[in-house]
Amino acid sequence: MREYDYVIVGAGSAGCVLANRLSADPRTSVCLLEAGGGDKSPLLHVPAGWAATFNNKKYDWAYETEPEPELNNRRIFWPRGKALGGSSSINGMIYIRGVPVDFAAWEQAGAKGWSWEDVLPYFVKAERQQTFDDDLHGSEGPLHVQDVVDKRPIHETFLDAMEEQGVPRNADFNGIDQAGCGYYQFTQKNGRRWSAASAYLNPARGRSNLDIKTNVQTQRIIFEGKKAIGVETERSGRVAVIKARHVIVSCGAIGSPQLLELSGVGDSERLSALGINVNHHLPDVGEHLQDHLLSKIVYGTRPDISFNREVTGVRLVPAALKWFFMRKGPLTTGSAPVGAFLYTRDGLEAPDIQVHFASGATLYNEDGKIRALSEPAMTAVVNQSRPESRGSIHINSADHRQHPQIQANYLSTELDRRTMVDGMKLLLKVFESKALASSVTTRLAPFPELDRLDDEALLNHIREDASTVYHPTSTCSIGKVVDENLRVKGLDGLSVVDASVMPYVVSGNTNAATIMLAERNADYLVANIK
């Protein structure tokens, strides 16, 4: 049986980075395991294909939460990528790093060496920026970052409406100051999705010291005493053991605590009740879950404005041809071309609300899949950047095939409820601006039948409408489950490297920060794991 230097469980954003950086030394052997398949499907490369991957069991784990008490006991659909590239192969591609105050909070939580000054060089290292050329951005990294390709007049109109409400333009949300409104940057190259697999894994595929295994489900980590020595896997009913000097868990905020608990690492009482032999009592595994919650405002609009009509019916054909031959048009669109970062109150160090705007509108079908609204419409969503609410993710079975229980506990604090309501009020004022007057028709959400939307009505709408922005973090956080070098506390030969280690969710979309922390940890592993 071959023994590797490293086995990496999960080929998502962090796993792809680690596979590339660790295998760069031809003397180092690396095995990368992915439960999903490859990333050849056009759905994973056409930017607008992200919506079609949701609840597609080939590419999506299709999780859902337990009934959420503050969301009228609704279960919230949680898509997570299941293919090479992980969630970077199905996400909305928005590139946001977070702000210095985020990383200051990380340090205060025990993540020594993770301040803004410490992490900025790794953002720069990862990035191949196509617009900005300064000390805050990189131009030689593997991760292509591109401006919006399909800019539309309505995008400028929305930004004009923001300015009318006193929100200044911001040309770079990843610059000195996050506050303001403007265009998002996307992880794309020439109008094509640029996932972590595209950026990091594909350039390393030819290395003889890197083995990439797909459709392999890792059942548990194998220990000798307090040292991890490999993993037990299953593929098509066949069980195999893969040994390694160092095991890296990169399964994301859901999969990483799940694998640790299945391996006997977690709260001893919880694991014993499930008949799992306890290898190491670590009660914070699966705790401290954080996520961004969104609520949307939808207005009808003229047919010539809405994105909806261009991607439905026969109009989809010319859109597809335009993308295929020119890498332009509506299919280059990510989740939201423009947005904003806003303050809901004075005295904050950074904006506490993020806004995403799209010139179309979508609905979830009962099966969890996304479809475009049949009528022409536009959407803006608001989410709280730094929520106080904390949830948990825990297994409820010793069977690795069973999804864990996800309890997000959205809106469990008064501050979170207040911030979301105030954010909705700010956004409604934008839609009442003169700049948008000729573009909007009927308000479709929230509660079009109500002339006055007071705080109670808005909170009721949020409870009935709100969903995830797909940013779960912090279930194996630094200072609680792993140390500042991302090594699991009390164990040898075992690290966790993914969004689960973030002590706090960053202010914005999480993919950039996940790639950053993998870049930084790769440097640590190369220098210290012999």
Catalytic residue IDs: 471
User: CA nearest 155: which of 323, 333, 354?
Assistant: 333
Residue 42 makes CB contacts below 8 A (sequence gap 6+) with 49
Cα→Cα distances 497→204, 227, 254, 487, 505, Å? 19, 17, 13, 9, 15
Q: How many CB atoms lie within 10 A of CB 153?
A: 11
Calpha distance 374→30 (Å, rounded) = 48
User: CA nearest 92: which of 188, 223, 222?
Assistant: 188
Residue 324 makes CB contacts below 8 A (sequence gap 6+) with none
Residue 148 makes CB contacts below 8 A (sequence gap 6+) with 155, 183, 184, 186, 337, 338
Q: Angle between the 414-431 and 455-465 helix axes, to the nearest 10 degrees?
A: 100
Cis bond leading into 446, ω under 30°?
A: yes
Q: Where are the beta strands (DSSP E) in 385-493?
A: 391-394, 405-407, 440-445, 467-468
Q: Which residue type sits at 120?
A: L
Q: What's the residue count for the chain?
A: 530
Report residue 321 as tokens.
């041809």
Calpha distance 92→497 (Å, rounded) = 22
Calpha distance 164→435 (Å, rounded) = 8
Quote the DSSP letter at residue 487.
Answer: B
Q: Is 365 helix (H, G, I), strand (E, B) or coil?
A: coil
Write down the residue that tokens 């806003």 correspond to. 342
Calpha distance 37→59 (Å, rounded) = 8
DSSP assignment string, 132-147: --STT--BSSSEEEEE
Report residue 143 as tokens.
């991760």
